[in-house]
Amino acid sequence: MFNPDMPLPQTADSRPLAGILWMLAAGLCFVVMTAMVKSMGQGMHPIQSAFLRYLLGIVFVLPALRSLLAARLTRRHWTMFGLRGAIHAVGVMLWFFAMTRIPLAEVTAMNYLTPIYVSLGAALFLGETLAARRITAIFVALIGAAIILRPGFREISPGHLAMLGTTLTLGGSYLLAKAAVADLSPAVVVAHLSIWVTVAMIPFAVAVWQTPSWQQLAVLFAIASFATAGHYFMTLALQAAPVAVTQPVTFLQLIWATLLGALVFGEGVDIWVVAGGTLILASVSFITWREAVLKRRPITPPSIAPKL
């Protein structure tokens, strides 16, 4: 069972080409996943869609069942899992809502903010040091976010606010995962995330429930499958090559999302969104490269994958 939240240790023999190709495959899966969510449109309430995506995705937890049952959990672990499940559930529901309100490219570009929140959170809560270069990179990323949103020049919609909330909550979830894997296996951490997020969303889903069609269930299961495949391919990429090599490849997700939004959903190509997303990703890539050069192993590694 792989861990979509924490990169695996690097192998001794780096294979850059393999890492790049696996990351390309991961990016395609994530873009297809987001496009399928958007294709559901107003046919189902976003909260119900988010709940069913996780409920159907529990099937992918089954390979970790033995590890899950064998794990010896303390009260601290249960508290951490419950808190992470609640935070992550909010992030997932906000993300599904944002997908119905703003263009695909904007969702993808703003998703790049998550590692920035992780860097800030690691400094505030995990005691990591923020060097001057890292602070500068974070500042550049925030400028990128301002370029995307352009407050004062256009209306900030509820979808944009939802996406800001998504990146913030998923960043918090990532930090809790880092704390959890310190003394638990990744399989246990991932399995508990799926279970707790599903449980946390039950009351919200019940409040908006409408009987789904078989077609809707099939699409949601496909969404869960593409999300799982994307995280698996990302893990293979991180095993094959350093994250400093594979992370810049994720820029293609923004290009693909922009083209898909224009060609399939009739969304206009907003050059400001592309420019802002490029700035954010460039700052994240710089942080990754800089830490790789300095070989600061304890530093929390940035991750751009949507934790959905």
* Spatial separation of the C-alpha atoms in residues 59 and 76, rounded to whole Å: 27
Inside any domain, residue 272: yes
The domain in which residue 243 lies consists of 16-294
Inside any domain, residue 51: yes
Inside any domain, residue 159: yes
* Spatial separation of the C-alpha atoms in residues 239 and 256, rounded to whole Å: 24
Inside any domain, residue 303: no
Task: Tell me the per-residue pLDDT of 154-196, one tens digit each, with 9 for 90 and over.
Answer: 888 999 999 999 999 998 988 888 888 778 887 888 889 899 9
Inside any domain, residue 238: yes
Burial 67-96 (b: 16+ CB within 10 A, else e): bbeebeeeeebeebbeebbbbbbbbbbbbb
Inside any domain, residue 230: yes
Inside any domain, residue 237: yes
Residue 250: predicted pLDDT: 82
String of DSSP letters for 216-245: HHHHHHHHHHHHHHHHHHHHHHHHHS-HHH
CA distances from 252 to 123, 194, 213 (A): 29, 28, 34
Residue 8: predicted pLDDT: 43
**Token pair recorded at residue 80:** 């951490």
Average pLDDT over the chain, rounded to whole?
A: 84
Number of domains in the chain: 1
Inside any domain, residue 306: no
Task: Tell me the per-residue pLDDT of 197-242, one tens digit each, with 9 for 90 and over.
Answer: 999 999 999 999 999 999 999 999 999 999 888 888 887 887 787 7
**Token pair recorded at residue 39:** 């294709």
